[in-house]
A and B are shown apart, each in its own frame.
Chain A
Amino acid sequence: MVTLDLAHLSVREANRRLRELGAAGDDVEILNPDAKHHIGVGLVHPITVKVRGSAGYFCAGLTHGARFEIDSNVGWGVGDNIYDGTVIVGGNAGAVAGVAIRGAEVIIKGNMGSRAGQVMKAGTLLCCGNASFMAGTMMYGGRIVILGRSGERLGEDMTGGEIFVAGGIDSLGTDAVETDISKTETDSILEFLERHKIPFQGHFSKVVNAGAKLRYTTPEPTLRNQPTTVAMAGGFWNAKTQEDIEVKAVTGRYRVRGYGTSRAIPHFNDIAFRRDILPDEGAVSKVNLAMELGSRSGAKPLSLSMPVLIAPMSYGALSRSTKLALGIASRLSRIAENTGEGGMIQEERDEAGQLIFQCLSGRLGWNVRDMQKADAIEIYISQGAKPGLGGQLMASKVTPELASIRGIPPGIDLRSPSRHPDVLGADDLVIKIEEFREATGYAKPISVKLGAGRVKDDIKIAFKDGFDFVELDGLQGSTGAASAEVIEHVGIPTLAAIVEAIDALREVGARKNEMPIVLMGGIKDGVDAAKAIALGAGAVAVGTAALIAGGCISCMRCQAGYCVTGIATQNPEHEKRFRTDVEAHNIHRFLESMRWQLAAIVHGLGKTDVHQLCRDDLVALTPEAAAITGLPYEARS
């Protein structure tokens, strides 16, 4: 047994040593832990770590295979997302104990705080004392065993899994119900207790999901579908409006659809370059478009051949073939791809040259193994299409394979929580990012994805919290599924978002591109990209445009699961229609057109580097665009 003393070592250094000792197979004793955060985070070796005292937040978080024994208490999120392994806490645990565990044994000898086991997927969370409020909220699987009292609102909005309580249930949460416990289940718990030498005599009550909220009751009827071209044709009594009303007359609720806004909103078309641009066929070889992204904290940055990325879109919303095509196209164009919400698929990892791995509130598909395979890590706070809401994936797309990657029950109308279990403020976010950095040895850039709402406040927090870059998504951003109300009516336009973001960065004294803003939300080509960069963006990301290049017909039915092009579907018959190689090259060629447009504009304006583009190059074409951007409405040169 090797001893590490936190009175003399930083947690960062101790964790580095832990990884080395883990690789060598040495058990470790940690002295003077002093309730410090992140002890043991990112350990993926089967060693035993004994913590002689109390640990802080995320002790044993993002680990795989290790055994942790903590003598005293732990802070929030003990065993966060642990893939497999054992954690034994001798004292009490703070809030969200066992958050998002994927399969582990987490044992709290004392009491545990609020929202324990939130979004857990598998494994056992045992509390020998009393649980607090909302234990098992939004859990997807696994079991929680509470020997004391349950606390209020037990199993709030749980989707799957089981909760067993021996000391009495204070109250049940929404959509949770008490049911009979089988002998097999009781025996299994007793075996578990015996194996961990926990004395127990008594009986258990069992709580599961009641099933009232797992599926929308009345499905949306299939009418003659009205695509985005109809929706945007103008006049508010258009055929799309009629379709919406007819569908709501059947379902009695909001509509869930995919794609982005279908209203005219001030956008990049409403600003222009103020000087003549003489296109030059050879512009690409005459200017520099390449950039590095994500070096602010000293991590290894992404290397982009041009300031363009593929926007985050999940395997789930999109078919496997589409994710592969995006990965291939991004590699061919030497840019970066992004996993989106649903976890990382191996082929996507193999195809994409550079891949950003996204962490969302439901922690679906999130795990330390894939974090270590990623080139950058991104925490999703919100997105332009639906700021403030969690993800949705309709049952028709939740196939058994997809459910297993995400760690959820198949065939449910999947909803992710609207906020992270363990990030409820800027101070929590600092601690969360630090956990990611620990789990990846400070080697990977960490970014944040933000939907445009209170952009100034959010960007200032992001800057303060040390993110390497920000992906900022305006109201025009698209989604795989959301209610039409939020798609159309929540958030601020992309154009306004970048202006506010740059103002915020100026106010806090950031240098240009010190924390680059990757702007997205309706970026349709290289001209939009050039305008965004001239307004201060570091780069742009394309989602919808890349999908259209890959065959999307803009029918706005991404949520339905029967996408005729094989893009937004998990139906193998439909997916067959998507020819991965062909579409990968279509997307690649579209990206290359963006490259040429960017180069032609940069060269045409007499510049040599894309980041020399600036506001002085732009003029507003409408009073609205002038008001939003502060650009001159009339060019007086």
Chain B
Amino acid sequence: MLDGCQHRGPDSTGFALYGAGDAETYRLRFYVGTGPLAEKSVQRIGDVLAREGAQLLSGERVGGSYAASVRHKGPVQKFAYAMEHAAKLFSLGHRLEIVKDEGTAHEVDERYHLGKVEGSHGLGHVRLATESAVKPEAAHPFWATGFSDIAIVHNGQITNYWKWRRRLEKLGFEFRTDNDSELIAVYLAKKLSGGASLRQALSDSIEDMDGTFSFLVSTETEIGYAKDRLAAKPMVMVETDDLVAIASEEVSLNRLFPGQALSTREPLPGTIGTWSRSI
């Protein structure tokens, strides 16, 4: 799907994938790069894991990432923040893993062997970088930092970003970037952790977020979208008995149904939708 849409974002590509996983284990994906500092980062990750009382079950370097399976008991937020201070942490969750890096969908797939992943749902994103340095950490998807298993991809711009960021920071939430997508992820995750359903959290986001946006969010068991009231950013979807697929353009959906005429629809302005399935 992503290679079909690469013209919208040739610089970096990212995936948030929900594999098998289990409730006892956390999967952590760090970005450590490939240079000489990578080993040091891995070392530091090990040290902080030990300090936090986490047990490292396995760890391997794939591409520029370091994927660790750990066992940890205790509050996830404190643990996640501690790990984020140790190294660039792209995702944390029982099932979620975020892989994102410079390059096209095919290049990132090749580097990280994503074709082999089996799972129930996922998000993807291609990014147009206007800065010369294409930084992997600026790529999407974004993880809701501090929360387990929540990820987001977003096209648009949140114009009351700083208002919401300051509010959330006062409540003790931390942000790793100035990217508004990360804000939406944390905003939604906070709602969910307070007991709201994903539907409710998404509906609230349409009230609370100003600007133009089409975004997709995923949790361990659900996937959902929200679209701003002006329908400024594209979104098109196709739904069958077996799957739902949502993209910016039909060309991505066609990848799933080559040669078939699709009955697509555009979600209406100011609407949300959610789907759930477990493997």
Q: Which residues of A contact B (CB under 8 A)?
A: 34-37, 53-54, 56-57, 71-73, 75-76, 91-92, 94-95, 111, 113-115, 132-134, 151-152, 424-428, 430-431, 457, 460-461, 463-464, 507-509
Contacts and interface: CB of A to CB of B under 8 A. Distances in A.
Interface in B80-136: 128-132
Contact of B231 (A75, A111, A133): A133
B227 to A, nearest CB: 10
B233 interface: yes
Interface residues of B, number: 33
Contacts of B181: none
Contact of A56 (B132, B251, B266, B269): B251
B157 to A, nearest CB: 8
Given A132-B266, A425-B155, A71 B250 contact: no
Interface stretch (B29-37, B144-152, B216-224, B256-264): B256-264
A51 to B, nearest CB: 12
Contact of A424 (B212, B253, B259, B262): B212
B212 A35 contact: no
B265 interface: yes
Interface of B: 4, 7-9, 128-132, 155-157, 212, 231-234, 236, 248-251, 253-254, 259, 261-266, 268-269
B10 to A, nearest CB: 9
A115 B263 CA distance: 20
B261 A113 contact: no
A62 B268 CA distance: 27
Main SS class of interface, A: loop
Contacts of B265: 92, 111
Contacts, number: 102
Contacts of B156: 425
A95 B132 contact: no
B102 to A, nearest CB: 15
Contacts of B269: 114, 132-133, 152
A56 B259 CA distance: 15
Contact of B250 (A35, A115, A151, A461): A35
A152 B261 CA distance: 28
Contacts of A76: 234
A425 B235 CA distance: 14
Nearest to B258: A34
Given A460-B130, A464-B130, A115 B254 contact: no
A508 B129 CA distance: 10
A431 B7 contact: yes
Report, nearest first, the 9 A-B pairs whose CB atoms are least far apart: A114-B231, A35-B251, A35-B250, A460-B130, A508-B132, A427-B8, A113-B266, A72-B261, A424-B232
A109 to B, nearest CB: 12
A536 B211 CA distance: 34
A14 B265 CA distance: 28
A72 B263 CA distance: 9
Contacts of B7: 37, 430-431
A382 to B, nearest CB: 16
A349 to B, nearest CB: 33
Contacts of A430: 7-8, 128
Given A111-B266, A424-B233, 17 more contacts: A35-B249, A35-B254, A54-B261, A73-B261, A73-B262, A91-B262, A91-B263, A94-B234, A94-B266, A113-B266, A133-B231, A133-B269, A427-B8, A460-B130, A460-B131, A461-B130, A509-B132
Contact of A508 (B130, B254, B266): B130
A427 B231 contact: no
Nearest to A428: B234
B262 A72 contact: yes
Nearest to B247: A35
A71 B262 CA distance: 11
B266 A54 contact: no
A427 B131 contact: no
Contacts of B233: 424-425
A507 B132 CA distance: 7
Contacts of B128: 426-427, 430, 464
B5 to A, nearest CB: 9
Contacts of B262: 54, 72-73, 91
B261 A95 contact: no
Nearest to B252: A35
A457 B157 CA distance: 13
7 contacts: A35-B4, A56-B251, A75-B236, A95-B234, A424-B212, A425-B157, A425-B233
A113 B231 contact: yes
A104 B157 CA distance: 35
Contact of A73 (B132, B212, B264): B264
Given A427-B155, A457-B130, A75 B249 contact: yes
Contacts of B155: 425, 427
Contacts of B250: 35, 54, 56, 73, 75, 94
B6 to A, nearest CB: 11
A170 to B, nearest CB: 10
Contacts of A95: 231, 234, 266
A53 B253 CA distance: 13
A174 B248 CA distance: 29
Kindly name the residue among A72, A152, A460 whose own CB sees the greatest number of chain B CB atoms within 10 A. Answer: A72
Nearest to A74: B250
Given A133-B269, A424-B212, A508 B261 contact: no
A529 to B, nearest CB: 29
A601 B261 CA distance: 66
